[in-house]
Amino acid sequence: MKTEISIEFFPPQTPEGIDKLRATRARLAELKPTFFSVTYGAGGGTRERTIAVVKEIAAEGFDAAPHLSCIGSTRAGIREILGEYKAAGIRRTVALRGDLPSGMAEAGEFRYANELVEFIRAETGDWFSIEVAAYPEWHPQARSPRDDLKAFARKVKAGANSAITQYFYNADAYFNFVDEARALGVDVPIVPGIMPIAGFTKLARFSDACGTDIPRWMRKKFESYGDDVDSIRAFGLDVVTGLCEHLLKGGAPGLHFYCMNQAALTTEICRRLG
């Protein structure tokens, strides 16, 4: 049985980046993903670029899932974007709380992602299949794991169809999170987010910021390779492929790749998974 995968892009800032993403997308399309998702900057900071990439993906015949973040947004603004996506035949979206842009004091008309999910459902009925975010190692701003789990359950009950997790490297965190969500009555698919490893320094910095734990054994091994890029890449491929195998054997409903607009690592991991 074919494993369902999805792949995430961010909207490029330059004409060269746009061309590079087209080439990346052409390679990743060979994996026949269920959909490509496209991120949305803090407070809608990449709005026009996100819309352009989403429409281009849809025009190429692929299922595109634009991210929508509610922090810093107005109901009128979200209504307008939903209308534009609907007119373009887009049937899926990723509804997120998002981050407040630096220097902005007001959250806007929505405070939490469940309010955005409710709004999308109220405005568009069942037109969109709605994905929401999940945090197996807890959202860094959550007061407690229990609070975070309840917030996740609220998003699902507001009308989400499926969830995609923050990336992680500890499979037990994912399985424990799924068990606890099921105990709260959450029955939608919870798809693990997978971050291929291209280099270690940037990954460590990013993981510390977003609350993802890099297990000590992994961290030590990466550090031992110093500037040996080939060894870091080879070890990263082994670790992430092993993680994916473990997740799929344990019943994960699919895999969502944070490809960072690169094709090589995601393609190689999928090749190894068969």
CB 235 within 8 A of CB 225: yes
The single-letter DSSP state of residue 108 is B
**Per the residue annotation, which of 8, 115, 118, 131 is the catalytic one?**
8
Helices (H), the chain: 15-29, 47-59, 75-87, 113-124, 145-157, 171-183, 201-210, 216-224, 229-249, 264-273
CB 159 within 8 A of CB 121: yes
CB 77 within 8 A of CB 18: no
3-state secondary structure at position 262: coil
Identify whether 115 is a catalytic site residue: no
Our CA angle for 49, 123, 66, nearest 5°, is 25
Rounded CA-CA distance 70/96 in Å is: 7
CB 258 within 8 A of CB 8: yes
Backbone angles phi, psi at 4, to 5 degrees: -75, 130
Q: Which two tokens stand for residue 208?
A: 């510390």
Q: Which two tokens stand for residue 1?
A: 């049985």
Q: How many residues in the chain?
A: 274
The residues annotated with a catalytic role in the active site are: 8
